[in-house]
Structure 1
Amino acid sequence: MGHKVVVFDISVIRSLWETRVKKHKAWQKKEAERLEKSALEKIKEEWNFVAECRRKGVPQAQYCKNGFIDTNTRLLEKIERNSVARQSAWVKDRDKRSDPFVFELSGTQWTELPDSLKEQTHLKEWHIHSTLIQIIPTYIELFQAMRILDLPKNQITCLPAEIGRLKNLRELNVSFNHLKNVPPELGDCENLERLDCSGNLDLAELPFELSNLKQVTFVDISANKFSSVPICVLRMCRLQWLDISNNNLSDLPQDIDRLEELQSFLLYKNKLTYLPQAMLNLRKLTLLVVSGDDLVELPTALCDASTPLKFVSLMDNPIDKSQCQDSDEILESEQDRQHFDKEFMKAYIEDLKEREAVPSYTTKVSFSLQL
């Protein structure tokens, strides 16, 4: 068998979180009293040790020996190195915030960009998030040095055509806004490397003109309404990461193997019933994440132990809202739900990548989570 990791019913975690969060404090107090009298102090010590190691960036292989936690492992030198690295990162982040070439804005008090911004055409980065801004002004074309447009979790309804004149743009993040289309002029940003349009919910297509983006290595269009993989994406010859999860895909194109550089392919929460034979031609694919409920056919060679592929099959069941929410709770927005799912999956994939080896077969196991 191949490298296969199976997670049973991701929605269970979500429903348990919502139904038991109010009981968390009471349970925590009772559990603390129980642990004081129990023989589980050793487990608690090991857990705290693992948590501390992870906070300090120590790989799992350093503190696990043959599957058992070794709290006697000497990690001081590694921890100190990571501490220095974190301090350096903090200084770098502090410098970034004071960088005269970086503009940052956040908070629901903002409904439009400040007028003074149009005079600062030397800026190279915009980081605007969690505001009520709906419009990106056309004067954005004046920012010819722009390299990063980071605009997540706003109320943006459209992007101006003038964005195509930003020839030095490397990253565009317009995730969790209210976009229904992307301007074809974006295809003129010939140096674009990362494109994130996830969580807009109603986005259903990308313009063919984006086929000109030959430098793109990362595309995230998850949590939208795509019924097929956009043609322009299939023509992005350097693409390494594609997330098209949580859409309306019923099948994959037979020429999916055009993406010869693809390494990570996320497809979960779609309506796929099979995976095409062409998937076997994706020689650099190392991570494939799909939903398992509807799949009835896939190339058996995907499970070949000789391949480097980590195949992750998730059991996705719809959440019963009547069971996972009390009557006095306010319904979350759909975007909040999608954001939660993406954060959970991101954490899971990061954990998967940390493992030095994945078992050749893992039985499906039902588990519960108490909070």
Structure 2
Amino acid sequence: MNHCSRPKLLLKTVVAILPESDCGLCSCFRIKEEWNFVAECRRKGIPQAQYCKNGFIDTSVRLLEKIERNSLSRPSLLAKDKGKQSNPFVFELSGEHWKELPDSLKEQTHLKEWHICNTLIQIIPTYIELFQAMRILDLPKNQISCLPAEIGRLKNLKELNVSFNHLKSIPPELGDCENLERLDCSGNLELMELPFELSNLKQVTFVDISANKFSSVPICVLRMSNLQWLDISNNNLNDLPQDIDRLEELQSFLLYKNKLTYLPYCMLNLKKLTLLVVSGDHLVELPTALCDSSTPLKFISLMDNPIDKAQGQDGDEIMESEQERQHFDKEFMKAYIEDLKERESVPSYTTKVSFSLQL
């Protein structure tokens, strides 16, 4: 990689589980070696499950050669992708050469799904209200700066993903999408609040508002009575509301990379909570029952390792690099959690160490 031709901010946060017997220096070298192996596997499209054993990276298995030898065994996956692309109810668009949606799109009001990613599109047109059959709006990693109020007319909308765009607000009309089940607004960096009108979204089970600037859990989120997954990591939270236990159906709660100093005891009332991820560097008080091995809760405490922003970059370069880093962190944590769920025997309390590497 030519570092001169790329922004200097290439620091990545790597999370790994360390055995107690490992010394710090040896662990650094080992994890760097493992990370290089993992990065190569990711470029080759090798699933994490193939190179992980009980949470550890197995570099002795030469999966890279194996995956290339078995490349002929993928036609079924290619056929599946081809079938998706030919689906008359699905619209797909990607590539930075797209700066606006094609004019012909407004005539295809029968569409049920939009999948638009990695474009330079900034505006979602108001004619979106014509797509009454819309079920999925998947719009990650674009340049979208605002959503039209007309999005509230999509009464059949079930999933909205506007992650890693440039949103600073969410239209209150979204609260009219009464059948919405999944909402992902992560990685917009400047989003500070959600409108109270989203309290009407009683079918929502998944909310991801991580990597933004929330200083508290939005009131509307506390009123989503069916919420099962809440990710509000990497924000500016100083504490949690005392009525957080209103979320009786909550199963997974991600809070890491905030400014929390304690966890309220009311969290013990979240009887269905099975996964809690926090950052432990600033925590001075937490209910000891959260770490009790007799409970089904997997309590994960991360030790933060902040990454300083590189100097000498303009605003756009910093934002782009920050979004890339946040996206990487989310993908890494998602892979870890999936691995955690698949393992048969997992300790209820896991301490992990984060490293910063310049790739």
Question: Aligned to 1:117, which of 105, 111, 114?
Answer: 105
Deviation at 1:99, TM superposition (A): 0.5
- C-alpha distance in structure 1 between counterparts of 2:101 and 2:226, whole Å: 34
What is the CA–CA distance in structure 2 between the aligned matches of 1:106 and 1:366, rounded to whole Å? 33
Q: Is the 8 A contact 2:13 2:357 kept in 1?
A: no
Once residues 124 and 260 of structure 1 are traced to their aligned partners in structure 2, the CA distance between those partners, rounded to angstroms, is 32
Structure 1 gap ranges (5+): 1-12, 18-51, 72-79
Q: Deviations over 1:53-79 (max 9, x none)?
A: x85967978xx8xxx9xx9xxxxxxxx
1:349 Cα shift? 1.0
Task: Give the number of equivalent residue pairs.
Answer: 307
Q: Which residue of 2 aligns with 1:45?
A: none
Distance 1:259 1:362, change over 3 A: closer
2:48 and 2:335 in contact (8 A); partners too:
no
Q: Tell whether the 8 Å contact from 1:60 to 1:354 is kept in structure 2 after alignment.
A: no
1:304 maps to 2:292: yes
Who wins on radius of gyration, i.e. which is larger?
A: 1
Q: Calculate percent identity across the aligned residue pairs.
A: 82
1:256 matched residue in structure 2? 244
1:335 aligns with 2:323: yes
Distance 1:367 1:134, change over 3 A: closer
* TM-score, length-scaled by structure 1: 0.74
The answer for the alignment partner of 1:356 in structure 2 is 344
Cα pair distance change 1:201/1:263, threshold 3 Å: same
Classify the secondary structure of the residue corresponding to 1:302: helix
The answer to whether structure 1 residue 14 and structure 2 residue 12 are counterparts is yes
Indicate how the Cα distance of structure 1 residues 196 and 368 shifts in structure 2: closer, same or farther if over 3 A, else same. Answer: closer
1:163 aligns with 2:151: yes
Relative to structure 1, is the Cα distance of residues 368 and 174 closer, same or farther in structure 2, using a 3 angstrom cutoff?
A: closer
Gaps of 5+ in 2: 1-10, 16-43, 62-69
Deviation for aligned residue 1:322 = 6.3
SS at match of 1:136: coil
Distance 1:16 1:340, change over 3 A: closer
Q: 2:82 aligns with which of 94, 103, 126?
A: 94
Please name the residue that 2:190 is paired with.
202
Q: Provide the C-alpha distance between the structure 2 equivalents of 1:231 and 1:56, rounded to a whole number of angstroms.
A: 37
Match in the other structure for 1:193: 181
TM score, norm. by length of structure 2: 0.77
Matched-pair contact (CA < 8 Å) for 1:234–1:256? yes
- Residue 49 of structure 2 contacts residue 339 of structure 2 at CA under 8 Å; is this kept in 1? no
Distance 1:123 1:60 in 2: 40
Cα 1:361–1:151 change in 2 (3 A) is: closer
1:285 to 252, 273, 280: 273
Q: Is the 8 A contact 1:276 1:298 kept in 2?
A: yes
**1:360 offset after TM fit, Å?**
5.2
Distance 2:195 2:329 in 1: 27
Distance 1:301 1:263 in 2: 16
In the alignment, the residues of structure 2 paired with residue 333 and residue 349 of structure 1 have an alpha-carbon distance, to the nearest angstrom, of 24
Alpha carbons of 1:88 and 1:285: their partners in 2 closer, same or farther (altered >3 Å)?
Answer: farther
Question: In the superposition, relative to structure 1, how do residues 152 and 276 fare at CA in structure 2: closer, same or farther (>3 Å)?
Answer: same
The verdict on how the C-alpha distance between 1:168 and 1:88 changes in structure 2, with shifts beyond 3 A counting, is: farther
Q: Do residues 233 (structure 1) and 221 (structure 2) align?
A: yes
Maintained 8 Å contact 2:305/2:356: no
Q: Is the partner of 2:12 in helix, strand or coil?
A: helix
1:305-363 C-alpha deviation (Å, 9 max, x unpaired): 2110000000112124569x9xxxx8662111111111111111112112111135657
User: Is the 8 Å Cα contact of residues 170 and 194 (structure 1) preserved in structure 2?
Assistant: yes
Give the Cα separation in 2 of the matches to 1:107 and 1:229. Answer: 35
SS at match of 1:333: helix
